[in-house]
Chains A and B, each alone.
Chain A
Amino acid sequence: DAGVTQSPTHLIKTRGQQVTLRCSPKSGHDTVSWYQQALGQGPQFIFQYYEEEERQRGNFPDRFSGHQFPNYSSELNVNALLLGDSALYLCASSSWGDRYSNQPQHFGDGTRLSIL
């Protein structure tokens, strides 16, 4: 049973460029959340997708956008990259129907994004 998979594992970009990160949820899950984890910090919530719509959003600028596909996979897009966007980007999946049943979210191993 495949867990949450993220690609690529590592990515190096320069300031001003754009990047797309990808996430496939755990089998049976239909909800995807994205988090940004700067070095030495805890993850910060970016947004959550269900039924191809953004359901919740954290305190991140519009440069951060996302998409969810009919197969529940998701993309995170970041435009006009800044040095401060360097971080580990984590994807978590869950089941929307279980959101009140105290089931933990499942996390992928993340994409390490470095901005030069």
Chain B
Amino acid sequence: KQEVTQIPAALSVPEGENLVLNCSFTDSAIYNLQWFRQDPGKGLTSLLLIQSSQREQTSGRLNASLDKSSGRSTLYIAASQPGDSATYLCASSSFGNEKLTFGTGTRLTIIP
């Protein structure tokens, strides 16, 4: 059974700093690994999806990496802004676009 863990549960950093969010998973037989953003009381917004054959994906100030052998993924946010404050969730898919297994998320606060 896949288990996904995100540490730390909460993180506060000053505006402008670069930061890294961590995600680990127990079963390396994943189909893809996704990062989502969730604002308070809202649904999930897909940020980046990394296919199992890929090592990283980039979108603007965001870069996500995937290391299946070690069961780890990281989300790098460059030049953080107050608008980046949200909860960030990672999720793995074991086969195709089937059920996603989520971590518990990292609540990020960017201090102006």
Q: Is B100 an interface residue (CB 8 A)?
A: yes
Q: Is A16 an interface residue (CB 8 A)?
A: no
Contact at A107–B43, with CB atoms within 8 Å? Answer: yes
Q: Mark B30-42, 1 if CB is under 8 A from A, else 0.
A: 0110101000011
Contact at B99–A90, with CB atoms within 8 Å? Answer: no
Contact at B45–A107, with CB atoms within 8 Å? Answer: yes
Contact at A110–B97, with CB atoms within 8 Å? Answer: no
Q: Is B96 an interface residue (CB 8 A)?
A: yes
Interface size on A, residues (CB 8 A): 30
Q: Is B74 an interface residue (CB 8 A)?
A: no
Contacts of A103 in B (CB 8 A): 97
Within residues 51 to 69 of chain B, which ones have a CB less than 8 A from any CB in chain A?
A: 51
Contacts of B103 in A (CB 8 A): 42
Asked if A110 meets B43 with Cβ closer than 8 Å, knowing A40-B104, A102-B51, the reply is: yes
Asked if A106 meets B4 with Cβ closer than 8 Å, knowing A40-B104, A45-B100, A94-B97, the reply is: no
Contact at A100–B97, with CB atoms within 8 Å? Answer: yes
Within residues 68 to 112 of chain B, which ones have a CB less than 8 A from any CB in chain A?
A: 89, 91, 96-105
19 A-B residue pairs with CB within 8 Å: A31-B97, A33-B100, A35-B102, A40-B104, A41-B104, A42-B4, A42-B103, A42-B104, A43-B44, A43-B100, A43-B102, A44-B102, A45-B99, A48-B99, A88-B41, A92-B100, A107-B36, A110-B43, A112-B41
